[in-house]
Amino acid sequence: MPSAAALIAGAAYTPVRINADNSKLISEHLSDAYNWLATTLAAHEYESVFIHHKWMICADIAHTKKCTSSISDITKLSERDRLAVDDQGIDGMTIADFSIFKVLPVSLKSHFYDSEFFRFALSREAQLAIATNYRYEEFLYLSHPSDLSEVANQFIHIWSGQLVGRFGLNEQCDALQRSVNDLYAMESRVNSTRCVLYVLATWFDWMKRNQVFDNTKIIIVADHGAHDYCNNWVRGAVNPILLVKDFN
């Protein structure tokens, strides 16, 4: 979360700059970053679409054509997909629990750590619900490219945590069932990675068929890298991915 504003609006919003200014919450810096991006795009006659933006509400983003945090606002989901996007408040609750734990005085940390609230946030049930519901909806955004794309001067911003554990997709790229399995296993990671790469490739093919690929710039960026996921992954965390497909 501290790196998100910098990913959107550049060096002026790095964690160092944000930490040097205690007058705003991180969410307010994020709002400023999103608004800077939308305003800059509008000044150059680009329409902006924000899909599943993080940690803020659409009302805080000005000068955008469309902003949505729900795939159901964009396209008609199948009944199977609708069954997989419930209980979306759990991820926010987990973040809130960790935030409370961090700001508590040391004398109270042990009490909160042993509380039912904190235990549930880390429980298998809560983590599985996040992976199979919240994360699966993020995957659905990528699965409906023709509903997101238009042949126009348009900027589309999609934020996805699909390739950050907890991994929530099975071999068929459906949401994991409630009875299944190790959400941090290499198999779960490989399945999620393969599914995301497939839908991106499908989207690029759609662009080519509709003759908009050449006049589209595609940027894929992550806030950190990874290495040997099951062991010492942090060694590669300092190497985030940056892929750019320029016009023509």
Cβ neighbours, 10 Å, residue 32: 17
Give the rounded percent of residues in the chain with a pLDDT score beyond 70: 77
CA 139 to chain centre: 10
The three-state secondary structure class of 162 is: coil
Q: Please report, in tens digits, the pLDDT of each residue of the chain (248 residues total).
A: 667 888 888 888 888 888 887 778 878 888 899 899 999 988 988 888 887 777 778 888 888 877 876 666 555 566 556 555 554 444 566 777 777 888 888 888 888 888 887 877 777 677 766 666 667 777 777 777 766 676 567 888 888 878 877 777 888 888 776 555 667 777 888 888 899 999 889 889 988 998 889 999 999 988 788 777 667 777 888 888 899 999 99
Q: 139: which 2 tokens?
A: 């995957």
| Per-residue b or e along 92-116, where b marks 16 or more CB atoms closer than 10 Å to that residue's CB | eebeebeeebeeeeeeeeeeeeeee
Q: Can you give the pLDDT at residue 245? A: 95
How far is 238 from 225, CA to CA, in rounded Å? 6
Q: Can you give the pLDDT at residue 134? A: 65
Q: Can you give the pLDDT at residue 78? A: 60
How far is 200 from 198, CA to CA, in rounded Å? 5
245, exposed or middle or buried, with CB in 10 Å at 0-12, 13-18, 19+? exposed
pTM of the full structure: 0.69
How far is 137 from 83, CA to CA, in rounded Å? 11
